[in-house]
Copies of this chain bind each other. A is one copy, B any other.
Amino acid sequence: MADAVGIGLLGCGIVGAEVAQTLAAHEKEITQRVGARLEIRKVAVRNLGKDRNVVLPDSVFTDNATDVVSDPDIQVIIEVMGGIEPARTLILEAFAAGKHVISANKELIGTLGKELFDAADRAEVEFSFEAAVAGGVPIVRPLKESLAGESVERIVGILNGTTNYILTKMSEEEMEFGEALAEAQNLGYSELDPTADIEGFDAAAKLSILASIAFNANVVAGDVYREGITKVTLADIAFAENLGYAVKLLAIAEKVDGEIAMRVHPAMIPATHPLASVRDNLNAIFVEGDKVGEVMFYGRGAGGGPTAISVIGDVIDVARHIVGGGTGVRHASTGTAKVRPMNKTRSQYYVLLRIADRPGVLAQVSQAFTDNDVSIRSVLQEGFGDEASLIMVTHTALEQNFQALLTALRHLDIVEDVVSSMRVQSAED
């Protein structure tokens, strides 16, 4: 038995530095748990001159990442550099050299997961990525291990902290979207270019990783239907609250007729639903299973400390296998289930119409719903004259029927404007 396990770090930004600091701070407990010391032996950084504020000797730093993944004294690589390349090539080289890899890289795994899972399998090494989904929230391991006997039916998550922060500010302080975004950026929650957050790309990558685990499915971020939050207005949020809902950017993956449906979009969710009370930049993942019912995991989805804790949980696990034998649960991705197209998914919907306030309007609007096989659950008329609005919530309907309905409504003379519409995630059906 080795008395130490050699660790190589790819990247030493906020997360990397936290990993190094936490390993040092909890050295005694971790050594006891693993049965050997964990030793960071090499750290690849882009700029050797930068002060890292970590407790590692200068000699471990290198600007040659290939040296790290080929070092025979290193058994475990921690990839916290982010981005597709060179992370992908370095991880594949590490696998080929027989090293286990821990990664926090949602973009890479959400895009090229299958290539990495298969390469790890062929090399008979472990590839763990708890930190890639929802930062400090334990979700990958619980899905793989604690719920191993479960048939997961649906995952509904708030997977992006920046957008949840923005929606919280819009809801609680009636702050406009742009102002809330600027505040999120000031707090360091969002990048200078916020596109990945506000357009749902970040949530889509994480959702595809969760779906691939929960459903043993071979899916990628690009398979996820995606709408961001830029069109959500303060009026939508106010109407939602009046109807008893909160507006959240939801990431939903579900098994429907043997297919995998995945989507990221703003949605109304009942105020009593546990996800409705997830505030600020927190993340949460709601899992619905056949036997277990509802399980939710909640916590900080980003930040150095939380992400480092997830990385270290994976490192301890892999190191225990190196020292004491055994392996982690492999990620199979052998599934052949097809991705269900968005227009075949089902949801409830909210729609806000500006209408001409005259006799027979409701009858004409209702007829359009009926013609498109969308059933009305509740309707509320507000105002009168030029300011009249209809606020409608539907029963569960097929997406393509609802989209056809929107087109039909736009063509009705008595409908002046389809002001907004949003999906409603509810317990109905």
Contact = CB atoms under 8 A, between A and B. Distances in A.
A149 B312 contact: yes
A329 B33 contact: yes
Contacts of A289: 309
> Interface extent on A, as a size class?
35 or more
Contacts of A316: 145, 148-149
A145 B306 contact: no
Contact of A324 (B274, B277, B279, B327): B327
A325 interface: yes
A26 to B, nearest CB: 6
Contacts of A57: none
State how many copies of this chain the complex holds: 2
B329 A326 contact: no
Contact of A306 (B23, B33, B292, B303): B292
Contact of A291 (B22, B141, B278, B295): B22
A147 interface: yes
Contact of A146 (B33, B148, B313, B332): B313
Contact of A295 (B136, B149, B292, B320): B136
Contacts of A23: 149
A244 interface: no
Contacts of A157: none
Interface string A276-310: 11110010100001111111111110010110111
A300 B294 contact: yes
Contacts of A305: 290-293
B136 A22 contact: no
A254 interface: no
A403 interface: no
Nearest 9 A-B pairs (CB), nearest first? A326-B326, A149-B312, A138-B146, A325-B325, A291-B305, A295-B299, A296-B298, A136-B292, A138-B142
14 contacts: A18-B291, A22-B291, A136-B292, A145-B317, A148-B317, A149-B308, A149-B309, A150-B312, A272-B277, A274-B298, A277-B277, A282-B294, A284-B296, A296-B297
Interface of A: 18, 22-23, 26, 30, 32-33, 130, 136-138, 141-142, 145-151, 272, 274, 276-279, 282, 284, 289-300, 303, 305-306, 308-310, 312-313, 315-317, 320-321, 324-327, 329, 332
